[in-house]
Each structure stands twice: as structure tokens, then as C-alpha cells.
Chains A and B, each alone.
Chain A
Amino acid sequence: MLYKYMKTARMAALERTNGGVAYLFPDILIKVFTLIPLVYLWRVVMSSGADVGMSLEQMLTYTYVSALLADMLVIKTTATGWLSDGVLLKLYGRPLSVFGQLAAQTAGRWAPMLLMFSLPMALMAPLFGVRLIPVSPLFIVSLLLCVTLGFAVDFLFACLSIKLRNMNWLVDRTRVAIAMVFSGTIIPIRLLPFGLADVMKYQPFACLGGSPLSIFVGAADAGETIALQILWNLILWPAALLIWRKSQEGMVSYGG
């Protein structure tokens, strides 16, 4: 059974490079051009000397790891486009579970960028003064919980796109914007001003990318962070399954 999902993942990985590996170059270029200025932005900002509870080294590592593992920290499956991109037809036409296929496809789609962007940039990390060794091994546990929660959040957004009758582009952009501010992948939650940090650290998006990254650099209590991640998984997974079951009946697709 697992073999079928492995094959699905492999197909998804190959699909991204169908046109040729060279066509991934623009995406890689943008990622590099985002990461390097962001590293220097933090250098400039942190040089002001303000005490934010994180050192420059921690901040740089946080930013760097966030870029390397971006696809895993905020999960994006193809589900939001299932009414317009023919995803629906493919998923329901195969003798495999829909969730299983989406998970396998998503993991498979990570592979090209992990190999072509994350791996080379990880090797180049010392050039930017970044140390890529996690402070706590619990980072792995937190990352796994982040990924499972990410799938639940993604399915909820996918259900929203069904409810909004195919406005998947809008759902996608809104999700990206919310994740950008609330997940802590760009700006650590603890750095938010106006007292926002104290409130924001308990919301579900904070249990996505920001949690494993904070544990990686030693800027959060691992036990407390993982407990919160487990709690949100326990709340959002049943909600996602229930809403998805109801949403299936609302799927209407007429081309793309």
C-alpha cells in the first residue's frame, strides 16, 4: 500500500521538472534573492541594539532555516485548486485515499526545491555566518507536528475554496498573507510589537513554522511549544475532517 503513495510522491516530484530542470531556475533565483537581503535586513535591524530576547546569531539561523524548510513550515497542497485545475478529477479517479494522495503529492513536490535550493544553500550557510545545528533534538518532533498541523490548516482552506465557489486564487493569497504574519516564518512571533507577541503565540498559525524554528535556535521552551502544537492538532484535525466531509457535496467543477 505504501508503495502506491511512494510512486505518487515520485510522480509529483518528476511533474515539477517535466519541462526541464532549468525552468525551476527562476523560482530558485527569487528564493535566493529573498533570503540574502532578508539575512542582511536582520543584520541591519539587530545592529540597533534593541533587546528582543534573541541574539543576532539566533535571528540569522531562524531566518535561514525558515527559507530552507519553507515548503514544510507552511504546507500547501494542490487541494485549494481542486475545482479549477482538474485536481478533483485526478484524486477521485484513483483507488487511493484523497488525503493520502494529497499528502504524497505534496511531499513529492518538496523534493526538487530541497535538492536544488535547500541543499546548496545549507552547504553555503557558513559563508553567511549561519550555524545550522539545532539547539534541541525536539526540533524534529516539533517539525513533524508542524507538518501535520499544516495539512489540517490546508484542508480547511481547501474547504473554504469550495465554499467560495472556486475563488482559489483568493484563498491562496489570503492564506499566504495570514501565514506570513501569524506563522512566525518571516518575523518571529516574539518580535511583534504593541503587545501582539503575548496574544499571537497561542493562535494555531504560531504552531506552524514559528514553533520548530524557535526550538531550533533555542528561543522557546520546547515542552510548552510541543504541547501547544499537539493541542492544536487535536482541535483542527477533527474539524478539518468534519468540514471536508460536508464540503465534498458542494464541489462543482466545470473546466479551468
Chain B
Amino acid sequence: MADKITLRRVLRLLAISAKMDLVWLLRDTKFAMIGVLGDIISNLGTVAGIFLIAARFNGIGGMSADEVLFMMAYSTLVSGIFTTFGTGNNIHISRIIGRGQLEHLFIQPLPLGVQLATNGFSPFTSGKMLVGVALMAIAVSRLRLRISFLWVVALIAYLLTTMTIIVARSYLVSSMAFYAPVAMEEISNTAIEDAWLISTFPLSGMPAFIQIPLLTILPEGLVAWFPSLCLLGKPPLNLSPYYPMLFALFITLIAGYVFKRGLNYYVRKGANRYVPYGFRR
């Protein structure tokens, strides 16, 4: 019998994940801190490259170096939210599907969606979030932006929208793992991590045939560039500042439909990946 799902129940589930994260930090502090540090280095390495180019050339394609810094700060915040809520492979869902680990979730007395939404919460070891906040504060200060309540609401709305696009796109492409578990186990990694560098490119000044595919087919332009320019009051390409929200809705609907079809296939076929001595085939 599944538990009744209330907001209180969801918060308690998040608290369980947070507690496990804290326990890791307290019992294995040295390795947990190394993990946090490594995560921060990996993110800074990604955003530093583009910022260093902007600093060297005094901006990129009409964006000043400080505006590029703002964009990198936004990208780091997104990465921080991703790490805070997605450490259980719950966003890299193709790994869970491809490894035949969905069964682990099926036996829990909780709906699949609730488990996936709560089991990757790790607020204590997500150092990237702090780096993102710090970078954002520096960028805002250097740009002398006037921060109002509405601006903060807009920032939160864009961050949520960006996360929705990332999660929906991951679930959309990960649906292939239902049909080809071994070959597609890492497809979410390809869609998120391998494509992350593209999302840090300031697309300003590039030709339309580069910009438009990156706002539609491979929406990396919506991960940092487009929302950053909207927050700076300069929505690009004469598009509405609400375009990312519309795109997020569109991709969520498609991902939901495709994922459900894949799930129906999976419950009939399964994925037998583990060899007798413990490793995956």
C-alpha cells in the first residue's frame, strides 16, 4: 500500500536524503570534502575558459567581459541546483534505466515520480551552489545591476525554467535506454555533461544558423545565454523573454509522453545487466 503523498511527506523524504548527505559529510569528511572540491574545480574549469577569452578580448560579440561573467555565474548556479537535487542519478535517469535499477524503485511504497524527485537531494555537499551565488554576487556588483524583488523572482523563474529544460531533455533522450539499455546507459551524460561546454558559449554575434538550432534542436542556448541576457534586460533575437518558459512546457509534454511509452515497454521486458560476480555487462 503506497503512502499518501502530501507536501509534508515530500519534505520528509527530502529530509531523509539530506540526512544521508550530512552523514556522509560527517563520517567521511575528508573524502566528502575532496568530492566537493573536485566538483567545484570541474565546474570552474568549464566556465573559466570562456570567461578568460572574454577577459582577454574585452568581451565577446557585443557582450562585455562582466556580462559574460554574469552568464558564467548563471551557468554555475544552474550546475549547483543540478548537483543539489540530482546526485542520485535521478536526473541522469538513463543510468538507472540502463543499469536495470528501476526495479529498486518499483519495490518502494512510493510513486516513482516522488522517489525520483526526492532521492538526489544533497544540500550539504553541493559546493557549486555557493560558488554560483558568490560569482553571481560579484557579477551583479561589477555590472551595478539594481536588484529589485521582481528581478529576484525573475532569476528564480529562469533558473526553474532552465532546470525544467535540462531534466525534460534528459528524460526525453534517456527513454532510448528502455529499448537499448547497454548502448544508451550514458545518453543522459552525453546530453547534459558533454553538451555543457556548448551552453557556456555566448552566442551573441554568431550567425542565425548557429543561434537558432541552439535555441530549438539542441537548446543549449537556453541553459545560460538566453536567460542571462533576459535578466540583463536584453532578450536576444527579438524573442519574447517568455520563450524559455514556452520551450520548457513544450519539451516537458513531449518528454512525459515518450518516457511513459518507454516505461510501459520496460515493465514488460526489463533489463538484465548484472553478471554473477557483481559487475554490469
Interface assignment of B38: CB less than 8 Å from any CB of chain A: yes
Does A256 lie within 8 Å of B53, measured CB to CB? Answer: no
Q: Tell me the residues in window 148-180 of chain A with beta carbons closer than 8 Å to chain B beta carbons.
A: 164-165, 167, 170-171, 173-174, 176-178, 180
Does A174 lie within 8 Å of B42, measured CB to CB? Answer: yes
Tell whether A26 pairs with B190 under 8 Å between CB atoms, given A50-B58, A86-B279: yes
Does B61 lie within 8 Å of A176, measured CB to CB? Answer: no
Interface assignment of A3: CB less than 8 Å from any CB of chain B: no
Does B53 lie within 8 Å of A45, measured CB to CB? Answer: yes
Could you say which interface size class chain B belongs to? 35 or more
B211: nearest chain-A partner, CB-CB: A37
- Classify the interface of chain B: helix, strand, loop or mixed: helix
Give chain B residues whose Cβ lies under 8 Å from the Cβ of A52. Answer: 56
**A50 CA / B43 CA spacing, docked (Å):** 28
Give chain A residues whose Cβ lies under 8 Å from the Cβ of B45. Answer: 176-178, 180-181
Tell whether A37 pairs with B206 under 8 Å between CB atoms, given A178-B45, A187-B49, A255-B279: yes
Interface assignment of A19: CB less than 8 Å from any CB of chain B: yes
Partner of A37, one of B52, B193, B198: B198
Give chain B residues whose Cβ lies under 8 Å from the Cβ of A180. Answer: 45-46, 49, 197
Digitize B21-42: 1 where CB-to-A-CB distance is under 8 Å, 0 elsewhere. Answer: 0000000000100110011011
Does A44 lie within 8 Å of B60, measured CB to CB? Answer: yes
**A193 CA / B59 CA spacing, docked (Å):** 13
- Classify the interface of chain A: helix, strand, loop or mixed: helix
**A37 CA / B208 CA spacing, docked (Å):** 11
Digitize A236-256: 1 where CB-to-B-CB distance is under 8 Å, 0 elsewhere. Answer: 000000000000000000111
Give chain B residues whose Cβ lies under 8 Å from the Cβ of A20. Answer: 180, 183
Does B31 lie within 8 Å of A167, measured CB to CB? Answer: yes
Does B49 lie within 8 Å of A186, measured CB to CB? Answer: yes
Give chain A residues whose Cβ lies under 8 Å from the Cβ of B57. Answer: 45, 48, 50
Does B214 lie within 8 Å of A37, measured CB to CB? Answer: yes
Does B280 lie within 8 Å of A165, measured CB to CB? Answer: no
Does A192 lie within 8 Å of B207, measured CB to CB? Answer: no
Interface assignment of B194: CB less than 8 Å from any CB of chain A: yes
Digitize A21-42: 1 where CB-to-B-CB distance is under 8 Å, 0 elsewhere. Answer: 0010011011001101110110
Give chain B residues whose Cβ lies under 8 Å from the Cβ of A255. Answer: 278-279
Does A45 lie within 8 Å of B201, measured CB to CB? Answer: no
Interface assignment of B113: CB less than 8 Å from any CB of chain A: no
Interface assignment of B231: CB less than 8 Å from any CB of chain A: no
**A255 CA / B42 CA spacing, docked (Å):** 26
Give chain B residues whose Cβ lies under 8 Å from the Cβ of A37. Answer: 198, 201, 203, 206, 210, 214
* Nearest CB in chain B: distance from A70 CB, A: 11
Interface assignment of B267: CB less than 8 Å from any CB of chain A: no
Q: Which residues of B contact A (CB under 8 A)?
A: 31, 34-35, 38-39, 41-46, 48-49, 52-53, 55-61, 173, 180, 182-184, 187, 190-191, 193-195, 197-198, 201-207, 210, 213-214, 218, 220, 275, 277-280
Q: Which residues of A contact B (CB under 8 A)?
A: 18-20, 23, 26-27, 29-30, 33-34, 36-38, 40-41, 44-45, 47-48, 50, 52, 85-86, 89, 164-165, 167, 170-171, 173-174, 176-178, 180-181, 186-187, 191-194, 196, 254-256
